[in-house]
Each structure stands twice: as structure tokens, then as C-alpha cells.
Amino acid sequence: MSDAMLNEQVEATKGKMVMNQIPADIVGESPLHHADLETLASRGQDQGGVHLKEKSLQGLLILRAKPDEAQMAEIESVLGVALPTTPLTSVEMAGGKGDVSVRWVSPDEWFIVVPATVAFQLESDFQTSVSGHYSLVNVSSGYTILQLSGDNVVDVLKKSTPIDVHPSVFPVGKVVSSVFAKSGAMMLRRIGDNAFELIIRRSFADYIWLWLQDASMEYGLVIEA
């Protein structure tokens, strides 16, 4: 590696490379940028059974690890919360380095949501503080988060996924990966009685945006900025 590469933006210690991927003064375009949800929020209907909001431009990371006790503790000290090890659960914490939410994906995989600017810090902290075998990958631009709520949100989810979202088996905090319409990947997490968070892949975002408009048409769709 040339010396030019080694500056404060790029770190390659312990055989891994992390770099700050976000420019300081340029605003990114989220996967639903083209839909212009802000205009729809201000000019669209304000009554309806389904409410949609894109929680755009977050810091998103995928952690792979099979942590032993020591690594578990190191990860907890970096994240501020312990990794949820019970399948299909999530944890979140506000404050500290910023809001952090960690979702179980598989026995050796977690999806981490932090404010956009925290992602690189988190990667760097892992480099310095977490030992052993793991992989932490910044995927901030690879996904976006949709918040869905309203009286008919469950009806729209029933049209879209084979997952049973009844509160008796899908309480607040539960998180699942499944299919959404014909898109093969999504994560769904309940954040309230009638409120869910949907994490979808960037390239499928327009398809799911069209799908949600269509599926919620009979109930009325309200866009929130």
C-alpha cells in the first residue's frame, strides 16, 4: 500500500481496512430520493390508515462474529449495548455516542443502526477495541429504513409478507428477516402497537415504494416528512 493512502481517512490495522466514506459537505441522495417524499408529505393527503416515512441516510453496519465472553464485552463497550443473542430480538439505546439500535439477523450476524456520522467512528473503535475474528461492514448506502404506522399497517404487511405480525407472536422489539412482496430481502421490526420499521435494499426501494402505495391505496396513504 502506498503511503498516500495512509491518512486519517483510511485505517488498515489488524489486516482490515476502514475508511470514512462520507464527505463532509455534500448531502447524499437516499434510495427514495427520486420519490420526493418531502413534497408528497406537504402536499399529499393527511388522513389515511397507513403512514409512511423514510428514515433516510442513517449509518448502517453489518456485524459478523461468534463472540466469546471477552469479545462480547469488547463489543458491548464499543456499542454501548450488549449484542442481543436471543434469536429475532433487538436492543436499542439513546444517548452516549448517539442512538444505537442492534438487531439479531442470525446466530453470527447483527444489523446495527446509528446516526450516519457515527458509522466510521464505530468502525474505527472496533479496529482499536475488539479482538479476535469478526467482520464489520459499512452498508449505509445499501439499505434504507421505512417507518410504517397506522390503523391499517398490519393489513398492508399481511399483503406483503408471510410473517405473522400478530402482537401475541410479534411483540415490540421483535425483528425478522423475510420476503416482502417479490423482493427477497427485508428486515421488519415492531416499534409500537401499530408501528413497524422496514429495512430494505437500495435497489429494491422503488419497487417497494410502488408496492406500498398500491397495497395501502384502499386505506389511504399518508407520507410523513
Partner 1 sequence: MAQQTNNETRRLSAGGRIDRSKPITFTFNDKQYKGYEGDTLASALLANGVDIIGRSFKYSRPRGIVAAGAEEPNAIMQLGATEATQIPNVRATQQALYDGLVCKVTNGWPNVDNDLMGWVGKLGGKMMPPGFYYKTFMYPKSMWETYESYIRKAAGLGRSPKENDPDRYDNMNQHCDVLVVGGGPAGLMAALTAARGGARVILADEQNEFGGSLLSSKESIGNKPATEWVDDVVTELARFDNVQLLTHATVNGYHDHNFLTIHQHLTDQSFDKAPNGKICQRLHRVRAKWVVLATGAHERPLVYGNNDVPGCMVANAVSTYIQRYGVVPGKDLVLMTTNDNAYRAALDWHDAGHNVVAIVDTRKNSKGTLVEAARERGMTVMLGSGVVDVQGSKRVTSVSIAKLNEAGDQVEGSVIEVKADTVASSGGWSPVIHLSCHTGSRPVWSDEVVGFLPGPSQQQQLTAGAMNGAYSTAAALEQGMNAGQSALEKLAMKMADVSVPETETLDEAEPMALFHIPHPKPTHKAPKQFVDLQNDVTAAGIELACREGFESIEHVKRYTAMGFGTDQGKLGNINGMAIAAKYLKQSIPETGTTIFRPNYTPVTFGAIAGRDCGELFEPKRYTAMHQWHMEHGAKFEDVGQWKRPWYYPKAGETMQEALNRECLATRESVGILDASTLGKIDIQGKDAREFLGRVYTNAWAKLAVGKCRYGLMCGEDGMVFDDGVTSCLAENHFLMTTTTGGAAHVLSWLELYHQTEWPELEVYFTSVTDHWATMTISGPNSRRLLETLTDGDVSKESMSFMDWRAMTVAGVPARVFRISFTGELSFEINVQANYGMHVWKALFEQGKQFNLTPYGTETMHILRAEKGFIIAGQDTDGSVHPFDLGMPWAVSMQKPFSFIGKRGMQREDCVRKDRKQLVGLKTTDPSVVLPEGAQGVFDPKASIPMPMVGHVSSSYWSANLGRSVAMGFVKGGHDKMGQKVYYPLVDGRVVEAEICSPVFLDPKGERQNV
Partner 2 sequence: MLHIYCPHCGESRDEEEFHPAGQAHIERPKDPDACTDKEWGEFLYFRRNPRGVHHELWVHAAGCRKFFNMTRNTQTYEIKEVYKLGEQPSVVAE
Q: Which residues bind partner 1 (CB under 8 A)?
A: 1-2, 4-5, 9-10, 12, 14-17, 19-23, 25-26, 28-31, 33-34, 57, 62, 64-65, 108, 133-135, 137-143, 155, 158-159, 161-164, 166, 168-169, 181-184, 201-204, 206-207, 210-211, 214-215, 217-218
- Nearer of residues 93 and 181 to partner 1, judged by Cβ: 181
19, 88, 116, 191: which one contacts partner 2 (CB under 8 A)?
88
Interface with partner 2 includes 87 (CB under 8 A)?
yes
**202 beta partners:** none
Q: How far is CA 113 from the centre of its chain?
A: 5
Interstrand relation of 221-223 and 50-55 (parallel, antiparallel or unpaired): parallel
Residue 95 CB, nearest distance to partner 1 (Å)? Answer: 26
Least distance to partner 1, CB of residue 193, Å: 12
* Interface with partner 2 in residues 137-176 (CB under 8 A): 162-163, 176
Task: Give the list of residues 6+ apart from residue 14 with CB closer than 8 angstroms, or none.
Answer: 127
Length of the chain: 225
CB-based contact 85:66 (threshold 8 Å)? no
**Interface characters, 179-198, with partner 2 (x: CB under 8 A):** x----xx-------------
**Structural contact between residues 188 and 178, judged by C-beta atoms closer than 8 angstroms:** yes
- For position 178 contacting partner 2 by CB under 8 A, the verdict is yes
- 49: cell is 390508515
Among 102, 105, 146, 156, binds partner 2 (CB under 8 A): 105
Residue in 96, 94, 90, 55 with CA at minimum distance from that of residue 78: 96
Give the Cα separation of 96 and 79 in Å (integer): 10
Residue ranges binding partner 2 (CB under 8 A): 87-88, 105-107, 109, 162-163, 176-179, 184-185
